[in-house]
Amino acid sequence: MEPDAILEELGVTAAWELHGDGRWVEAPNLDVRAMARLLRSVEARWVTLTVSPAPGGGFRLLYHWDLAGRLLNIATVVPEARAESIADIWPGADWAEREARDYYALEFAGRDGSPALMLRPEDEPGLFSRTQELGRDADPADAARVDAGGEP
């Protein structure tokens, strides 16, 4: 399946922006589970998920896929710290979603029982978000335990 057909199948009206490093598209109302199922069916390869705070609030989820050597970067935005999980469709996304929760307290639907990945069980999720609130010089080791009442 060609990249243009993928956008058409997903109902994304925006076109790919072609850069030297791959194709990029912003898809605000993206059905990420439909995207995951489609890319699974065409034997694309999972690359990773990049989460970052969105400029207007919420979070930007940038999904990276490899389609026969072509890098596809598909971005969407969630207004709250809650997103759909694709780990049941793409098991390879499991750790990336758990890591996103560690860093940004981003909760993925149906994954309430998933353990932390990089943080320890006693650490509160949202390490990067919390240190952002505390200022750029905040120590992540202190911030990891700021809500847990433990020693930094």
Partner 1 sequence: MSPVIPVGPYHPALEEPYKIELVCDGEAVREAHITVGFNFRAIEWLAERKNYTQDLALVERVCGICSNVHTLTFSRALEQLAGVEVPARAQHIRVIVHEAERLHSHLLWAGIAAEVIGFQTLFMTCFALREKVMDLLEAVSGNRVNYAMNKPGGVTRDIVDPAMVSATAQAIRAAMERDIIPVFTTDRTVRARCAGVGVLTRDEALAWGALGPVARASGLPQDIRKAAPYEIYDQLDFEVPVRPEGDVLARIVVRALEIVESCRIIEQAVDGMPSGPIDAGDFIPVPAGEACARIEGPRGEVFYYVASDGSDVPLRVRIRTPTFQNMPTVALMVREQTLADVPLIQASIDPCYSCTDR
Q: β-pairing, 82-83 with 22-26?
A: unpaired
Burial 130-139 (b: 16+ CB within 10 A, else e): bbeeeeeeee
**Binding window for partner 1 (CB under 8 A); candidates: 2-10, 28-36, 64-72, 106-114:** 64-72
Dist CA 1 CA 23 (whole Å) = 15
> Does the protein bind partner 1 through residue 59 (CB under 8 A)?
no
> Does the protein bind partner 1 through residue 14 (CB under 8 A)?
no
Contact 108, 95 (CB under 8 A): no
> Does the protein bind partner 1 through residue 15 (CB under 8 A)?
no
Nearer to partner 1, 64 or 145 (CB): 64
Pick one of 38, 42, 116, 146: the residue that binds partner 1 (CB under 8 A): 116
Pick one of 58, 95, 114, 145: the residue that binds partner 1 (CB under 8 A): 95
